[in-house]
Amino acid sequence: MANIMYWEAIQRAHDEEMARDPLVICMGEDIGVAGGTYKATKGLYEKYGPLRVMDTPISEGGFTGLGIGASFLGVRPVIEIMSVNFAWLAMDQMFNSAAKVRYMSGGQLTAPCVFRSAGGAAHQLGAQHSARMEKVFMGIAGLRVVTPSNPKQAYGLLKSAIRCDDPVFINEHELMYNMKGEVPDGEYFHPLEGSEIARSGTDVTLFGYNISVHWCLKAAEILDKQYGISAEVVDLYSLSPLDREGIRKSVSKTHRAVIAEEDEAPVGVGSEVIAIINEECFFELDAAPVRVHSALVPQPYNHTLEKAAIPDHEDVVKAVLKMFGKA
């Protein structure tokens, strides 16, 4: 096992897949000569050249469509959108071309693309650079959505996404690129579907994904040590499809659920998980499921306002204590 950073894990997945298959290419703004804003493509330009590591103009709609068109002929592009905030410009092509083309063509055309983008709130980047947009991609028929919470997932999910013939959107996080974690030395493919139990527990399930998994783990530690509450943390690395079976299994065990998301509440991961709990195991519940989420505001610049808008592990602890009547 190697202990490497999230960005190194992504870089390694790119490198292995590009070495193996000459039709795997990557494209995006500053990914080549500059090595990538977050270093996710560092060194690839020198190794594979400009035909396969494409520095694109600032034309998200155009270059995303171009990558998708290339994939129609068997090229496997990893298309980086520098910040998920810019992805709005690419969505017509992502949804109307890549996601729908297999169905519209009765199975004739396939679009084996990977779209990867950095989402989430960083520090004081303001309203147009701090969006959490997972919900926008979830629920588009024909598009898979995954989100790595650690370097092992960042490596393994990209490996699987490149091999998979379906279009996949990988939602990374701006604050996690320097996060360190264990990654297998050998080749590893993380499943694109399912969920992972990050910490086993019995009294309440804490659902998290991406950065909120870490809030849940911290909260679980506090709940255990200070309050004697045993929390199970479930990592929902697959956002579309969500893991119905995994959700049902954990809630059937613990009978309580808190969903922690960095996104605002409406139409989010929390809404979806609660709907699924409703459908799969309503009568297992001992308490109403609860969402811990950001405020519905465009992200403020001011540091204090920004902190107030976004939850953290303490909000997760509070939500659990309230649920147990210990608030």
Q: How many residues bind other proteins (CB under 8 A)?
A: 53
Residues written for the chain? 327
65 binds other proteins (CB under 8 A): yes
How far apart are alpha carbons 255 and 66 in whole angstroms? 48
23 binds other proteins (CB under 8 A): yes
CB closer to other proteins, 146 vs 179: 146
Site residues (CB under 8 A) for other proteins, limited to 70-99: 70-75, 92-93, 96-97
249 binds other proteins (CB under 8 A): no
Q: What angle, rounded to 10 degrees, do the helices at 244-254 and 269-281 form?
A: 70
Strand order in the sheet with 76-81: 53-55, 24-28, 76-81, 114-119, 168-173, 144-146, 238-240
**Candidates 33-41, 67-75, 125-133, 205-213 — which segment interacts with other proteins by CB under 8 A?**
67-75
DSSP helix/strand/coil, 81: strand
Question: Can you tell me which of 161, 179, 316, 317 binds other proteins, judged by CB under 8 A?
Answer: 161
CB closer to other proteins, 189 vs 324: 189
102 binds other proteins (CB under 8 A): yes
CB closer to other proteins, 61 vs 300: 61
How far apart are alpha carbons 261 and 324 in whole angstroms? 20
Question: Can you tell me which of 88, 189, 227, 324 binds other proteins, judged by CB under 8 A?
Answer: 189
Residues 6+ apart with CB under 8 A from 46: none
DSSP helix/strand/coil, 306: helix
Asked if 161 contacts 168 with a C-beta cutoff of 8 angstroms, the reply is yes
Site string for other proteins, 284-323 (x = CB under 8 A): ----------------------------------------
CB closer to other proteins, 73 vs 185: 73
Q: How far is the CB of 89 from other proteins (least distance, A)?
A: 9
How far apart are alpha carbons 262 and 295 in whole angstroms? 9
Element (H, E) at 66: helix 60-71
How far apart are alpha carbons 67 and 69 in whole angstroms? 5
Question: Can you tell me which of 129, 163, 244, 248 binds other proteins, judged by CB under 8 A?
Answer: 163
141 binds other proteins (CB under 8 A): yes
Task: Specify the amino acid at residue 281.
Answer: C
52 binds other proteins (CB under 8 A): yes
CB closer to other proteins, 51 vs 325: 51
DSSP assigned state of 282: G
Report CA-CA distances (Å) from 279 to 247, 272, 306: 11, 11, 35
Question: Can you tell me which of 122, 125, 164, 175 binds other proteins, judged by CB under 8 A?
Answer: 164
CB closer to other proteins, 74 vs 298: 74
Residues 6+ apart with CB under 8 A from 151: 4, 5, 6, 8, 9, 179, 180, 181, 182, 183
69 binds other proteins (CB under 8 A): yes
Question: Can you tell me which of 38, 48, 63, 115 binds other proteins, judged by CB under 8 A?
Answer: 63
191 binds other proteins (CB under 8 A): yes
Catalytic positions are 60, 129
Binding residues vs other proteins (CB under 8 A): 23, 25, 51-52, 54, 56-57, 59, 61-75, 92-93, 96-97, 101-110, 141-142, 144, 156, 160-161, 163-166, 189-194
